[in-house]
Amino acid sequence: TLYQKHASTWTDWILEQVVGTVVSTSQAYSEEDAVFGFASLVDTSFPPSKDTNTKEQLETQKQRRDAFEFLKQYALKECPAEYQSDMTRLLEQANDAKLFAFLHGRMINLPLEIVLVLHEQLWLDWEYDQQLEQKQPATAKKKKKKAAAAASATSVVSANGEPRILRFAPCTKDNHGTLLYRYYDDELLAGRALVSYVVKAPKAYSQEDPIFLQVLVLTPDNYQQAIHDLKMLVGNGGR
């Protein structure tokens, strides 16, 4: 996959942070649970150099920068000209707004009802993490978030510190060039994204059929809207 080259780094990065959820079931006759899927929003910002003191911390930061640089390379390599400037600023984190990498993997045939739970739990984790970070009541935080979203709802690079979410959605194309998503929920994310464009996947990702990645940039509110879209779909029996 896109994350294969730096898999251990991303795994440690995910485990260190609290914004993530796993769908699994306990096995009565096994010591291990059966994992059906996971989702995580990884904060890709890096601490100031003065806060990175030990040799181990320096090595960890180097590994993470290398892993993120690999993502940035693929996001910018085939980026359309109209997005190039904004995407470069976003990925270089040129302002104070945080950029979260949306890592998500699951069984392809996982029922949509369970997929919905996965996203809803991730959103709850996200809100809880934001409350802890801002150290303010949930109601005040919600008002602040809505004000921020209204101020820069269509801007790729946040002008007011509102976070952005970066997702690489795996997909293929049919004979007519129509995108076929590996995970249906990625299509809902794409429908709410500020930016979406397609790049070729790394060679390690490719199989017999050409595989592509759709680069998506969303605000937290965009993600919440996509979850609502999924909830409506589940309520209509998947139609």
Looking at the predicted structure, is the pLDDT value of residue 239 above 90? Answer: no
pLDDT for residue 208: 54
Residue whose C-alpha is closest to residue 17's, from 108, 149, 117, 122: 122
Instruction: Return the DSSP state at 174.
Output: -
Asked whether the whole model's pTM tops 0.85, one would answer no
Per-residue pLDDT, 206: 47
Contact criterion met (CB below 8 Å) for 193 and 118: no
Does the pLDDT at position 141 exceed 70? no
> CB-based contacts of 168: which residues, under 8 Å, 6+ apart?
2, 71, 74, 75, 213, 214, 215, 216
CB 133 within 8 A of CB 212: no
Residue type, 67: A
Pair of tokens at residue 46: 């890096």
**Residue 210 backbone zone (phi > 0: left; psi -120 to 50: alpha; other: beta):** beta
Q: Provide the sign of the torsion angle of the four alpha carbons 146, 148, 152, 158, taken in this order.
A: negative
Instruction: List, for residues 182-203, the tens digit of each pLDDT value.
Output: 999 999 999 999 999 999 887 7
Residue 103 sits at the vertex; the CA angle it makes with 95 and 183, to the nearest 5 degrees, is 125
Backbone torsions φ then ψ of 172, nearest 5 degrees: -125, -175
- Pairing of the two strands 20-25 and 34-43: antiparallel
Residue indicated by tokens 């059966």 = 34
Mean pLDDT (whole number) for 5-22: 82
Cβ atoms of residues 122 and 39 within 8 Å: yes
